[in-house]
Amino acid sequence: MAAPVRVRMAPSPTGFLHIGSVRTFLFNWLFARGRGGECLLRIENTDVSREVAAAVEQIQRSLEWIGIDWDGAATFQLDRIERCQEEAKRLVEDGAAYEEEGAIRFRMPEDGITGWDDAVLGRIEFPNAELEDVVLVRSDGRPTYNFASPVEDWLDEITHVIRGNDHVSNTPKQIQILTALGSALPVYAHVPMINGPDGKPLSKRHGAVSTDEFRDSGYLPEALINFLALLGWAPDGETTIMDRGELVDRFSLDRVGASSATFDYDKLDWLNGVYLRALPPAAYADTLVAYLRERGNDWPEERIREAVPLVQEKIGRLGEFPSFAGFLFHDVEPDPALLERAVLEEAAAALERVDLFESGPIEAALKELCERLGAKPRQVFAPIRVAVTGSKISPGLYESLALLGREAAVARLRSGAAAAAA
């Protein structure tokens, strides 16, 4: 019987939750959930000055939004400060550590090698001569990260340490400490880092990096999860779209790649569009309304829902809605240079004559108008679109006109004609 899997997600409470951390946590979570294991949330705050309650709440909110949950309450590294001190004292008594100017240092072996079979990278070995005698406990009594972390892994009976590649060089030190502590060793899996398009660590200048920014832009958690999972991992060479359940079912550490990945915002947009389009209209409407409300938008819900059929097929991010469909909620300011007086006047007249103001009849009327004017559809529709929506890009024209209503549509056409007069 294999021991039950237990992993931990260990963010630093430094403000916001970085999307790269989310990817690492996602791998932990998928691994644990796929094996009926436990996934703990541990806040790494050995440094008091960085402990910000607000930051922790922020992290938890971000994780909840994206749908990564954890077992039990979040724990704080700082809470085990005394236990760490006791263990350090014990190590000193055992001769495995020693005091120096009030701090306690671990005595690393002078020669030989420390290695492990990384679940992602394979065999890795470090010459012990390279290992420094790391400080376990600072002179002020607080344990350092390289001590607190393994102590907690030991106490929490962590079976798999799945973390970023940047921790590789910490691993041999932690293995030595764990061994001196008398702890069993967890399986280590160092997952690749995520870079920006320039190959440098993903940062603000590349675009969105905090989970909140992605939420704000109108990405769906499901799409983000799907996208992130594919950064450094693939179930096979074909599958791209996978919902949470499938991800949990198919994820495995041995299929995680060893090389770092580049965050491709274009692909994320495409993937988000796929998820957005796949939503049942009612669910899409619910999501859209909730999204807008969260951002302080108070446009009438009824109208927003009516606009859904016009936008669902067109936008890739919920954040595009205000600019894409805003003309349905407020007046527009079309560029006079794009308006055609004669066309707009004719169009206004034609729409006034339409019996039933719905997209079908509107389409018929406008096509008839094209024939009558002897003009190509694009020459006629372009100015109408601009006059009515204020933009060259919009939802389908007939549907937009219908939803806007005869009165408003005609009024915009007329004022557009007037504006074009110049």
Using CB under 7 A as the binding rule, whether residue 170 contacts RNA is answered as yes
Q: How far is residue 96's CA from residue 98's CA, in Å, rounded to a whole number?
A: 7
Separation of CA 25 from chain center: 12
Using CB under 7 A as the binding rule, whether residue 102 contacts RNA is answered as yes
Using CB under 7 A as the binding rule, whether residue 126 contacts RNA is answered as yes
Q: Interaction with RNA in 139-158: which residues (CB under 7 A)? A: 139-140, 142, 144-146
Q: Which is nearer to RNA, 293 or 333 (CB)?
A: 333
Beta carbons of 362 and 398 less than 8 angstroms apart:
yes
Compose the 224-263 pattern: x for residues touching RNA by CB under 7 A, - for all others.
Answer: ------xxxxx-xxx-x--------------x-xxxxxx-
Q: Residue 171 Cβ, how far from RNA at the closest point, in Å?
A: 9
Residue 10: name the closest of 124, 158, 176 by CA: 158
Q: Residue 332 Cβ, how far from RNA at the closest point, in Å?
A: 14
Q: How far is residue 143's CA from residue 102's CA, in Å, rounded to a whole number?
A: 12
Using CB under 7 A as the binding rule, whether residue 373 contacts RNA is answered as no
Dump strand ranges (E) for 56-148: 75-76, 97-100, 103-106, 113-118, 122-127, 135-137
Using CB under 7 A as the binding rule, whether residue 289 contacts RNA is answered as no
Q: Residue 283 Cβ, how far from RNA at the closest point, in Å?
A: 18
Q: Interaction with RNA in 337-366: which residues (CB under 7 A)? A: 363
Beta carbons of 233 and 300 less than 8 angstroms apart:
no
Using CB under 7 A as the binding rule, whether residue 56 contacts RNA is answered as no
Determine the size of the site formed for RNA (CB under 7 A).
82
The partner residues of 43 in beta bridges, in order of sequence, read: 76
Binding residue (CB under 7 A) for RNA from 36, 95, 122, 296? 122
Q: Residue 376 Cβ, how far from RNA at the closest point, in Å?
A: 8
Q: How far is residue 38's CA from residue 69's CA, in Å, rounded to a whole number?
A: 10
Q: Which stretch binds RNA (CB under 7 A): 61-69, 82-90, 195-203, 212-220?
A: 195-203
Q: Which is nearer to RNA, 85 or 170 (CB)?
A: 170
Q: Residue 271 Cβ, how far from RNA at the closest point, in Å?
A: 7
Using CB under 7 A as the binding rule, whether residue 264 contacts RNA is answered as yes
Using CB under 7 A as the binding rule, whether residue 382 contacts RNA is answered as yes
Using CB under 7 A as the binding rule, whether residue 326 contacts RNA is answered as no
Using CB under 7 A as the binding rule, whether residue 111 contacts RNA is answered as no
Q: Which is nearer to RNA, 99 or 294 (CB)?
A: 99
Using CB under 7 A as the binding rule, whether residue 15 contacts RNA is answered as no
Cα–Cα–Cα angle for 257, 259, 260, rounded to 5 degrees: 115
Q: Residue 232 Cβ, how far from RNA at the closest point, in Å?
A: 4
Residue type at 91 in one-letter notation: L
Using CB under 7 A as the binding rule, whether residue 270 contacts RNA is answered as yes
Binding residue (CB under 7 A) for RNA from 60, 128, 195, 287? 195
Q: Residue 228 Cβ, how far from RNA at the closest point, in Å?
A: 10
Cα–Cα–Cα angle for 116, 118, 124, rounded to 5 degrees: 50
Q: Which stretch binds RNA (CB under 7 A): 63-71, 209-217, 297-305, 391-399?
A: 391-399
Beta carbons of 119 and 254 less than 8 angstroms apart:
yes
Q: Which is nearer to RNA, 4 or 405 (CB)?
A: 405
Q: φ, ψ for residue 239 (rounded to 5)? A: -70, 130
Binding residue (CB under 7 A) for RNA from 81, 103, 253, 418? 103
Beta carbons of 145 and 46 less than 8 angstroms apart:
yes
**What is the token pair recorded at 395?**
């939802």
DSSP 8-state symbol, 39: E
Q: Is the dihedral of CA 38, 211, 171, 81 positive or negative?
A: negative
Q: Which stretch binds RNA (CB under 7 A): 25-33, 211-219, 293-301, 390-398?
A: 390-398
DSSP 8-state symbol, 312: T
Using CB under 7 A as the binding rule, whether residue 192 contacts RNA is answered as yes
Q: φ, ψ for residue 252 (rounded to 5)? A: -150, 145
**What is the token pair recorded at 123?**
């065999």
- Residue 79: is it exposed, middle or buried by C-beta count within 10 angstroms (0-12/13-18/19+)? exposed
Residue type at 246 in one-letter notation: E
Using CB under 7 A as the binding rule, whether residue 199 contacts RNA is answered as yes
Q: φ, ψ for residue 10 (rounded to 5)? A: -125, 80
Q: Residue 120 Cβ, how far from RNA at the closest point, in Å?
A: 8
Q: Residue 237 Cβ, how far from RNA at the closest point, in Å?
A: 3
Using CB under 7 A as the binding rule, whether residue 128 contacts RNA is answered as no
Using CB under 7 A as the binding rule, whether residue 284 contacts RNA is answered as no
Q: In Å, how far are 49, 109, 402 from 136, measured between CA atoms?
A: 19, 15, 71
Residue type at 22 in one-letter notation: V
Binding residue (CB under 7 A) for RNA from 45, 58, 62, 183? 45
